[in-house]
Amino acid sequence: MEKTTFPDLDQDAMIGDKVPNRPLRFAINKIKAMEYIDLWYFTTEGCKEGSQAVPTASAAFSILNTETGVTFQPVDSAKPSKKAIIDEHLTWEQLMTARHTFIATANQAGWPQGSTQSFAEFYINLESLKADGKNPRALILYHAVVRRQWHEMLKAGDKPFNPSRINQNLLTDLENQIRDHDHEALQRQVSRLSQC
């Protein structure tokens, strides 16, 4: 058996000022498999749950079939969080916070650089659109549609599109849907108030 060697200690280095975000093992496994996972897992709330999920010696394990054979994994790593929020229901702040951890996790998982770079540019473009006055709810919905469709194409074996290329027609359609929904909700509320 080969002995593990460690690099020399950097005597001048110290731990960083911030504790790095650590998503749940479930989310990391999904990212490693390049499968869709709600962005919530990479928010502050999702990472807080991940940092609290410390495996114990008495943890239960399940058998997982892989390309290289059978392996054991902690049961907790196969479970989604009961607190997870779908992308459509994230706040703008959650989306902007989670993007950094999502991209860093994808990089660590070995995603192609072109994919992670496109997603980084995608988030920059969304931020720019919000600064230009676009409805944040429409941008959140657009984000959810783009990420889900990108992963569906990947899963189907199709070459996925570049998420950083903003489809203005789709974004306008989503803005109109939100406006129509809000208008209908307001009319229902006015109708109820007039009946009182």
Amino acid 195: pLDDT: 77
Q: Which tens digits make up the pLDDT trace of 60-110?
A: 556 656 666 666 555 555 688 999 999 999 999 999 999 999 999 999 999
- Count CB neighbours of 25 within 10 A: 17
Residue 188 identity: R
Our CA dihedral for 66, 68, 72, 73, rounded to 10 degrees, sits at -50
Low-confidence stretches of the chain (pLDDT < 70) are 1-2, 52-78, 186, 196
What are the tokens at 120?
Answer: 């980084």
pLDDT at 79: 85
Cα 68–Cα 26–Cα 162 angle in degrees, nearest 5? 85
* Residues forming beta bridges with residue 73, ordered by sequence position: 62
